[in-house]
Structures are given as C-alpha cells and as structure tokens.
Chains A and B, each alone.
Chain A
Amino acid sequence: TQLLEQSPQFLSIQEGENLTVYCNSSSVFSSLQWYRQEPGEGPVLLVTVVTGGEVKKLKRLTFQFGDARKDSSLHITAAQPGDTGLYLCVRRRNAGGTSYGKLTFGQGTILTVHP
C-alpha cells in the first residue's frame, strides 16, 4: 500500500508564528497536490508540484517538493487565524492507458491559529 504520512497530525500556534508541515512516502510521486479544508467545507486545491526540487510560493505559503520526489513540505510564514484548517497532501498515480490516475490522500494536519 502506497501510504502518505503527514506530520504533525495536530498543530496549535499563535498568530504570527511560522510553521512547517510535512508529507512523506516510501514511493516516488508522479505529482503531489496540497489542499486546505476549512470546517464544514470541501478541500480546496492550493498547489500542484511536479518536478523534484520544485519550490512554489502562494503569498505566505511556500511549498517544496523533495529532490527525490518522495516528500514535500508546506511552510507558512506569520500564520493568521484564517489559515486554520485541515491541510491535506494528495499524490496521484500516473494517468494514461488504462490507469485513471488514482489519488491517495494523506491523513492531514489539523492547524489551529489562535488570535
């Protein structure tokens, strides 16, 4: 079973602090996506990373894909209460041929940012 391990499982911080969450697998990712899910809503895509070593920035969020494409990290600078939510990493198996690109979700990191 190709599992995604996310850490930490829970994170409770004060507004203005920095944080990093991690997503790891023993298998190589073809691509990896990060989603954020707010309470009572469905997940929303934040970013997709494809190339080993790739770094993408989305305002205060920095996403990094490991050189070997087996791990990824999400760093948030100066966290705000609006960043509160469940952060999910998702890997997709290669699509094409008879494969329909099966997705695997990590168990998520629950982030709470206190004012």
Chain B
Amino acid sequence: EAGVAQSPRYKIIEKRQSVAFWCNPISGHATLYWYQQILGQGPKLLIQFQNNGVVDDSQLPKDRFSAERLKGVDSTLKIQPAKLEDSAVYLCASSSPRGTLTTNEKLFFGSGTQLSVL
C-alpha cells in the first residue's frame, strides 16, 4: 500500500517569497491534515479537511497561509509571503478510510517538507 506522498522534500527560500507544498494522501482516506513542526517539538495542526471541506483551520495564519483540497484527494499548502519564523517541517497526514473519524483513528504521515526561510 502506498503511503502519504509529499513534495518537495526540501525547500529553501528567502523571506517574503512564496512557496507551495503538495500532498497526496493514502487512497480512500477522507481526512487530510497539514501540520507544522518546529525542530524538536510536537506537530501543530494548521488545517484539517474532511473530504474537500475544511473542518478546523483555527490555527492557520490566514493572512499568509492558504490550503485547498480540490476534489477531496490531493492538497496544496501555500505560504505567501514567507517569514523567517515559518522555517519548519510541514507534515501531511491522512486517516479515516471509512470516511468517519473514530476515537482510535490512526494517522498516517508523510515524510514532510523541510522549509528554510533565509
């Protein structure tokens, strides 16, 4: 079974530039998450999709971050313009093969995109 695919693996940009990350979840997974992980810390949820609808974006800095999940499959996360403090690993995860979340739902993570903002 193919896992969660993310690209690019690494990205280096200068502050005020734009950047986009792509995620292809496990086939059939209805729920897709984007997390931001600062080095040595736990992941912080940015946005959660259920199919192609947003169910939680309370921690997404909407003045500069945007995300979409057209057709309820692939997703892109964009930062425009980037700031130094955006340097982090951006993780995509998927879950819910049956389309509804349960208490014991297992998340499957991609390997992440490591972003460095100079």
Residues of chain A whose beta carbon lies under 8 Å from any beta carbon of chain B: 6, 30-31, 33, 35, 40-45, 48, 50, 86, 88, 92, 94-95, 100-103, 105-108, 110
Contact = CB atoms under 8 A, between A and B. Distances in A.
Given A100-B48, A106-B42, A107-B42, A42 B91 contact: yes
Given A42-B93, A103-B45, A94 B111 contact: no
Contacts of A44: 109
B107 interface: yes
A45 B91 CA distance: 15
Contact of A45 (B44, B107, B111): B107
Contacts of A105: 42-44
- Main secondary structure on A side of the interface with B: strand
A101 B42 contact: no
Interface of B: 4, 31, 33, 40-45, 48, 50, 55-56, 91, 93, 100-107, 109-112
B55 A43 contact: no
11 contacts: A40-B112, A41-B109, A42-B110, A88-B43, A95-B103, A100-B31, A100-B55, A101-B102, A101-B103, A107-B42, A110-B40
Contacts of A50: 103-104
B43 A43 contact: yes
